[in-house]
């Protein structure tokens, strides 16, 4: 039982350090590693040894699986050339380059050991990439490339390490290396697809959120162990299963199961990610003691560590710039991303726990093993500190734009509008099949759909702080009501007359609604705090002749709704008719003069009359342009 207090202390430390890092706006991975280094020298802290089995079987599968669940399979496929270039080509390039450098600078270092170190330090870490990239708000396409690279490159690096170890024993051949790689890759993909089919079938029959979450928690471990038993890549099996299950979650799972799964994995991922960085730092004293005991010269040790660290950084930059055409995105002119994007991708090569785990997997009888392990630690800590701390500065210096909240708000509004259109069409089909329904029910459904859509559209036009929109006023008042409702439920619970299950169910219902309303308030704050971005541009839409004929959006001469002024009402946002220039209020406004103008004149296209918004809307086809 003596391990239990230390586990509790580990969790408490992780939570406290992460909270302090966020409050002080510091890089959590770097702070965690630093705390771990200090802890490794405290006499009362027990020595914690990261073994290959602990990392590769216990920590890596859930971390990779959670990252894969959150990765868009559509975006992953769109960037597949970039991801494969980095996860296979760059890993092989780095492995060979580091091997050449280490063999040159370390006296007596043989080639198999040099290649083993190259394979160990070659793969950037999925946890480090996600932690840093999402914190500083990189463009989503760039985050997809970095995460996709980190999800797949571990498999390449581990195969290369296995080959180097076999080469040291004289058992590796060129043909055997190729066969092993194909078997590992194809077998891992096959295991991942097979597990996806099995779990998908199970989820169609298990709708209880608790049981479904249990299935989700064991899935990455089953995928990894099953693939490794078949001599395939457990990493690939976990990643493929996670990508497919995450993509099909809206079809395979109930809404309650998806909410429970996201919440549980978010908690597990938070604890594991930060614990991994803390444990990396705690390996420092043991590794340094082993190096000092080996009798290696200090100049050799320092020179080797610096040489390997510099090599992995330089080789990554040397790879990404010549291969810029592989990093193409369809929305980049000429089919290539800007050089600033390439520079950020090249600099975002932080190493993590897989590098250390692979280093510990080097056989104990390998020549100068202690130096190899220390070099792996130096690369891990050096990239986390050097690149992790300087990456936000580099992004700001190169002016790489992150996701624009207003663009997201516009896309969200358009998506909900299309969903509403489909829902109303289905309602008409039901009415046609079942006969005329009660008018009050039908109008209630339409009213709720309208309110949902209005809330999405009202998030636009928030460039400058203004008064509350109807949806924001509703959110504020509803939160006050929910607090009163919860207090009353708790008062009744205190009387002891109601079943516990009933009270819990009612409180859960209030919690779900409060979380939804609270998210609306948070999104409003995000939009109003990030109003310095560029304009929300119009889009090119094929198939809508009205948008094609209307032309580009124009800045209105007067941003006022004359109809509202005449009638004594107020507007929320303004829309300008592209046919006659009439400015009217949006549908969230009490009088909906823009829509009324369309019904009266038939002019089909309006544009946003809000500052820095150039998007257009076609009333006839109900599409955004």
Model confidence pLDDT, tens digit, residues 84-95 = 888 888 999 999
Asked which of 181-185, 305-309, 321-325 is least confident by mean pLDDT, the reply is 321-325
The closest alpha carbon to 377, from 146, 63, 40, belongs to 40
Instruction: State the pLDDT confidence band at 330, using cuts at 50, 70 and 90.
Output: very low
Which of the two residues, 237 and 145, has the higher pLDDT score?
Answer: 237
| Gap between the Cα atoms of 296 and 300, Å rounded | 7
> Mean pLDDT throughout 344-348?
88
Contact 32/277 with Cβ under 8 angstroms? yes
Task: Please state, rounded to an integer, the average pLDDT across all residues of the chain.
Answer: 81
Cα 333–Cα 337–Cα 343 angle in degrees, nearest 5: 150
Contact 91/156 with Cβ under 8 angstroms? yes
Instruction: State the pLDDT confidence band at 537, using cuts at 50, 70 and 90.
Output: low
DSSP letter for each residue of 591-622: S-HHHHHHHHH---EEEE-STTB--EEETTTT
Most confident segment among 285-294, 363-372, 495-504, 528-537: 285-294
Would you say residue 461 has pLDDT above 80?
A: no
Q: Please, what is the end-to-end C-alpha distance for the chain in angstroms?
A: 64
600, exposed or middle or buried, with CB in 10 Å at 0-12, 13-18, 19+? exposed
Would you say residue 465 has pLDDT above 50?
A: no
Model confidence pLDDT, tens digit, residues 112-159 = 888 888 988 998 876 666 666 666 777 777 888 888 888 888 788 887
Asked which of 37-41, 174-178, 220-224 is least confident by mean pLDDT, the reply is 174-178
Would you say residue 517 has pLDDT above 50?
A: yes
In this predicted structure, what is the pLDDT of residue 172? 57
The closest alpha carbon to 66, from 206, 191, 243, 208, belongs to 243
| Integer angstrom CA distances of residue 556 from 191, 540, 587, 589 | 59, 21, 19, 19
Instruction: State the pLDDT confidence band at 217, using cuts at 50, 70 and 90.
Output: very high
Instruction: State the pLDDT confidence band at 238, using cuts at 50, 70 and 90.
Output: very high
Going 553 to 557 to 560 to 562, the CA torsion angle's sign is negative
Model confidence pLDDT, tens digit, residues 12-63 = 999 999 999 888 888 788 888 899 999 989 888 888 877 778 878 888 889 8
Model confidence pLDDT, tens digit, residues 573-617 = 889 998 888 999 888 888 889 999 999 999 999 988 887 787 888
For the sheet containing 623-624, what is the strand order? Answer: 583-585, 574-577, 605-608, 616-618, 623-624
Neighbours of 132 (CB within 10 A): 23
438, exposed or middle or buried, with CB in 10 Å at 0-12, 13-18, 19+? exposed
Model confidence pLDDT, tens digit, residues 375-426 = 988 998 888 888 888 888 888 888 887 776 667 667 667 666 776 677 777 7
| Gap between the Cα atoms of 522 and 106, Å rounded | 55
> Mean pLDDT throughout 163-188?
73
In this predicted structure, what is the pLDDT of residue 101? 92
| Gap between the Cα atoms of 455 and 588, Å rounded | 8
> Mean pLDDT throughout 87-106?
90
Indicate the pTM of the whole model: 0.78
> Mean pLDDT throughout 493-507?
73
> Mean pLDDT throughout 497-514?
74
Interhelix angle for 234-252 vs 140-168, to 10°? 150
In this predicted structure, what is the pLDDT of residue 93? 92
Model confidence pLDDT, tens digit, residues 273-294 = 888 889 888 888 888 888 888 7
Q: Are strands 623-624 and 574-577 parallel, antiparallel or unpaired?
A: unpaired
């Amino acid at each position: 039982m003596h391990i239990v207090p230390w586990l509790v202390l580990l969790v408490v430390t992780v939570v406290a350090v992460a909270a302090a890092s966020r409050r002080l706006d510091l890089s959590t991975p770097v702070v965690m590693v630093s705390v771990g280094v200090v802890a490794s020298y405290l006499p009362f802290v027990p020595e914690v040894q990261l073994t290959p089995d602990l990392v590769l079987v216990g920590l890596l599968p859930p971390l990779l699986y959670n990252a894969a669940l959150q990765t868009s399979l559509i975006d992953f496929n769109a960037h597949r050339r970039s991801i494969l270039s980095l996860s296979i080509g760059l890993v092989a390039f780095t492995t060979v380059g580091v091997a050449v450098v280490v063999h040159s600078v370390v006296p007596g270092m043989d080639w198999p050991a040099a290649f083993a170190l190259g394979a160990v330090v070659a793969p950037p870490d999925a946890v480090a990439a996600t932690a840093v990239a999402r914190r500083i708000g990189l463009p989503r396409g760039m985050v997809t490339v970095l995460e996709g690279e980190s999800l797949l490159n571990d498999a390449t690096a581990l195969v290369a390490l296995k080959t180097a170890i076999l080469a040291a024993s004289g058992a590796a051949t060129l043909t055997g290396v190729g066969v092993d790689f194909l078997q590992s890759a194809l077998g891992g993909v096959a295991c991942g697809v097979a597990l996806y089919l099995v779990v998908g079938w199970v989820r169609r029959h298990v709708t209880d959120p608790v049981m479904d979450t249990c299935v989700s928690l064991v899935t990455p471990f089953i995928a990894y162990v099953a693939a490794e038993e078949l001599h395939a890549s457990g990493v690939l099996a976990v990643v493929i299963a996670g990508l497919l299950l995450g993509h099909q979650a809206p079809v395979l799972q109930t809404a309650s199961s998806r909410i429970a799964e996201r919440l549980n994995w978010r908690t597990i991922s938070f604890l594991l990610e930060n614990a991994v960085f803390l444990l990396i730092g705690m390996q420092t004293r043991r590794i340094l003691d082993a190096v000092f005991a080996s009798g290696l010269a200090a100049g050799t040790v320092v020179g080797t560590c610096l040489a390997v660290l510099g090599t992995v950084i330089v080789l990554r930059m040397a790879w990404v710039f010549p291969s810029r055409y592989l990093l193409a995105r369809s929305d980049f002119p000429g089919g290539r991303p800007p050089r600033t994007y390439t520079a950020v991708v090249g600099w975002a090569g932080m190493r993590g726990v897989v590098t250390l785990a692979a280093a510990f997997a080097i056989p104990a009888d390998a020549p100068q093993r202690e130096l190899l392990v220390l070099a792996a630690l130096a690369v891990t800590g050096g990239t986390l500190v050097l690149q992790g701390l300087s990456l936000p500065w580099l992004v700001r210096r190169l002016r790489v734009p992150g996701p624009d909240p207003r663009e997201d708000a516009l896309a969200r509004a358009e998506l909900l509008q299309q969903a509403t259109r489909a829902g109303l069409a289905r309602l008409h089909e039901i009415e046609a099949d079942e006969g005329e329904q009660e008018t009050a029910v039908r109008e209630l459904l339409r009213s709720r759909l309208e309110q949902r859509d209005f809330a999405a559209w009202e998030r636009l036009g928030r460039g400058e702080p203004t008064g509350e929109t109807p949806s924001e006023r509703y959110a504020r008042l509803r939160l006050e009501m929910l607090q009163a409702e919860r207090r009353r439920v708790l008062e009744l619970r205190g009387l002891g007359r109601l079943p516990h299950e009933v009270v819990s169910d009612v409180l859960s219902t209030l919690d779900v609604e409060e979380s939804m309303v609270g998210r609306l308030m948070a999104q409003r704050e995000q939009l109003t705090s990030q109003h310095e971005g560029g304009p929300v541009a119009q889009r090119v839409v094929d198939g809508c002749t009205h948008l094609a004929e209307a032309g580009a959006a124009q800045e209105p001469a007067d941003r006022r709704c004359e109809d509202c002024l005449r009638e004594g009402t107020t507007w929320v946002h303004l829309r300008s008719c592209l046919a006659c220039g009439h400015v009217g209020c949006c549908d969230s406004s009490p009088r909906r003069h823009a829509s009324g103008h369309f019904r009266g004149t038939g002019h089909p296209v309006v544009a946003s009359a809000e500052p820095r918004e150039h998007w257009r809307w076609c009333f006839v086809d109900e599409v955004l342009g």
